[in-house]
Homo-oligomer: A and B are copies of this chain.
Amino acid sequence: MNDLTPNDGDGYLLDQALALRGESGLFEGQTHAAWANMVGPYGGITAALMVQAVMQSQCLGEPVSLTINYAAALKDGPYRIRARAARTNRATQHWVLELTQDLDGADAVMATATVVTAARREVWRRQDLALPPVAAPETFAPVILFEAVEWVRRYEIRLIEGAVPAVYDDRERDSQTRMWLRDAQQRGLDLQAIACMSDAFYPRIWLRRARWVPTGTVSLSVYFHASGQELAETGAEYVYAQARAQDFRHGFFDQTAHLWSRQGLLLASAHQIVYYKE
């Protein structure tokens, strides 16, 4: 399925996947087939769940940063998230989270995370990283990144540069991908949606090296430059996103990504380190 229309009454697929039961630090949820990756759920949805768990915990202010460490590929099925405020200050709060699943009768850690929330204030501001020159999203055709992967259908992706190589021919090239994207159901932006989107780049090594190798994100950090209110004002408009790698070594490479609104507001920066195997 590829939902290019608003939700059918059951709520948006992102909200369905973010539905957590619980409130005081222990949440229960269920992986959602609409966000499946090749093995287990798409990493972005798990990142969004960490944000959701904190925001459902009556946190101070709202998330300004998130780091999630992917300890293992989640299994399809139920999971628990434990969220604990390790420290509450006047203007900031420090959260520690753990996502677990039953594995051979034990409660196995599948992901750990930390989130900092804060009361945002209107003070002196400057955005030094401008939206790069780019033509309007409508001038690029929508693409399905991978036919065999479900989560990519949750986004309407209009690729500008850096498509998945049509043939893995070992012809090395630049690792950058640039694209416009938005929720395929045109759900509005919020901090959960940004966390989810910040992982929407396929592994840079497949592009850079033009060879398919097994990969898995090990750690992802997101800085939420835009507030929840600024995201709400952006609505369901296209987001411009770009990512590139800087170094591939010893079985790990990095990805640096930035997201801007169509109006040029920097929404988030994200960094991840990814395992690759030969």
Q: Which of B89, B114, B246 contacts A219 (CB 8 A)?
A: B114
> Which bracket fits the contact residues of A?
35 or more
Please report A residues at the B interface, Cβ cutoff 8 Å.
Answer: 64-65, 67, 69, 71-72, 86-87, 89, 91-92, 94, 96, 98, 108-110, 112-114, 116, 118, 120-129, 172, 175, 208-209, 218-219, 221, 223, 225-227, 244-252, 254, 256, 258, 266, 269, 271, 273, 275-278
Looking at chain A's contact residues, the main secondary structure is strand
Cβ 8 A contact of A248, one of B92, B116, B126, B248: B126
Interface-central residue, A67, A226, A250, A252, by most chain B CB under 10 Å? A250
CB–CB B67/A219 < 8 A: yes
CB proximity of A144 to chain B, nearest CB, Å: 28
Q: How many copies does the complex hold?
A: 2
Known pairs A86-B112, A125-B248, A227-B250 / 4 extra A-B pairs, C-beta < 8 Å? A64-B250, A118-B275, A126-B208, A126-B248
How distant is the Cα of A205 from the Cα of B92 in the complex, in angstroms? 19
Least Cβ–Cβ distance between A255 and chain B, in angstroms: 10
